[in-house]
Amino acid sequence: MKHYEAPKEDLWTGRISNKWLYLHEKVHCTLLEDIPEAQKKSIALLGYACDEGVRRNQGRIGAVKGPDAIKNNIGKMPNHLGGHIVLHDVGSITCKDGDMEAAQNELKNAVSSLLMKKQFPVVLGGGHDVAYGHYQGIKNYLDTKKKGQKIGIINFDAHFDLRKNTEQGNSGTPFYQIAKDCENEIIEFNYLCLGIRKDANDRSLFQAAKDLNVIYVMSDTFQMHFLEEINTWINAFIKNVDHVYVTIDLDGFSSAFAPGVSAASPMGFTPRIVIECLKTIMGSGKLISLDIAEMNPQYDVDGQTAKLAASLVHYVAHAISGS
């Protein structure tokens, strides 16, 4: 595949225990084409090494190196996964010659293939244009296996990412593109945004959200002391769909926690509120796939953004597996 890079075993380093105490000792580096059909719970880490969409959106480039930075930090973390849980690194989708659309299409095929093989995909970006290819992969799988089932998108983000793709798509257009695809197919567009900021979205984006019936929680409400109310909204949203796709944009976090992103701000949310919401989402049993976007090592400080992303993956992997 032109837009594919094999997994890099040298990313998976850390303390040596010889007892599988750390995730670098647990992970299997497996070519995407060789991934087996899962016979037990299995998680596949897939990179999306692309920041062309960020460049087109006039953001800070560097997220192309995000997947490797996250994987390297995951490897150093302790392994509490049961012996029956399989963890794969299946490499990365890449963007050649600025052809983001081809990379998104390759991502669609990869995600669909992983789901067909009963893997749980965790996609690591890369710009938030990852969401368009990722969603298309989920939809392609469901259209093949379970036609007519509803997908709900839950986006942890400061931004709606509902910009119109009048010329080309970019990191700010994925959910508008999905909405237009849904409109063309006469199916529901189910989209919940958590952490939206007024200082990060212009009036036209709030109008687009209104026109597309987007449900959103503003940043001043997306706080721990409103958790019960937030969970009520999440549960009501999930009740209306068959499957949930979660996307976490690291630039939604305060730069106190995530300086290494394409659009950093001190006004974002905290990791704790995201973890608590993830508990609710995963408790529904409807989570089908997840990604983390906008990891930009070029602007990271002491690797703390990569560590945050790795900690989120660590939490989700263990929660999915019941470990």
Q: Is 157 marked as a binding-site residue? A: yes
Q: Is 291 marked as a binding-site residue? A: no
Cβ-contact 282, 316 below 8 angstroms? yes
Q: Kindly state the DSSP code that residue 292 receives in the 8-state scheme.
A: E
Q: Is 161 marked as a binding-site residue? A: yes
Instruction: Tell me which H or E stretch contains 221.
Output: none
* Cβ neighbourhood burial of 37 (10 Å; 0-12, 13-18, 19+): exposed
Q: Give the C-alpha separation, 31 to 37, whole Å.
A: 13
User: Scanning the structure block, which residue is given the tokens 């999915």?
Assistant: 320
Burial code of 137-154, b = ≥16 C-beta within 10 A, e = fewer?
bbbbbbeeeeeeeebbbb
Alpha helices in the chain (DSSP H): 23-26, 52-56, 66-75, 100-116, 130-145, 174-185, 203-211, 227-239, 271-283, 304-321
Q: Is 181 marked as a binding-site residue? A: no
Query: Angle at CA 319, nearest 5°, toward 18 and 11?
Result: 45
Q: Is 251 marked as a binding-site residue? A: yes
Residues forming beta bridges with residue 293, ordered by sequence position: 249
> In this structure, what are the phi and psi dihedrals at residue 93, rounded to the nearest 5 degrees?
-80, 135
Question: Which residue positions form the known binding site for Mn(2+)?
Answer: 128, 157, 159, 161, 249, 251
Question: Which residue positions form the known binding site?
Answer: 128, 157, 159, 161, 249, 251
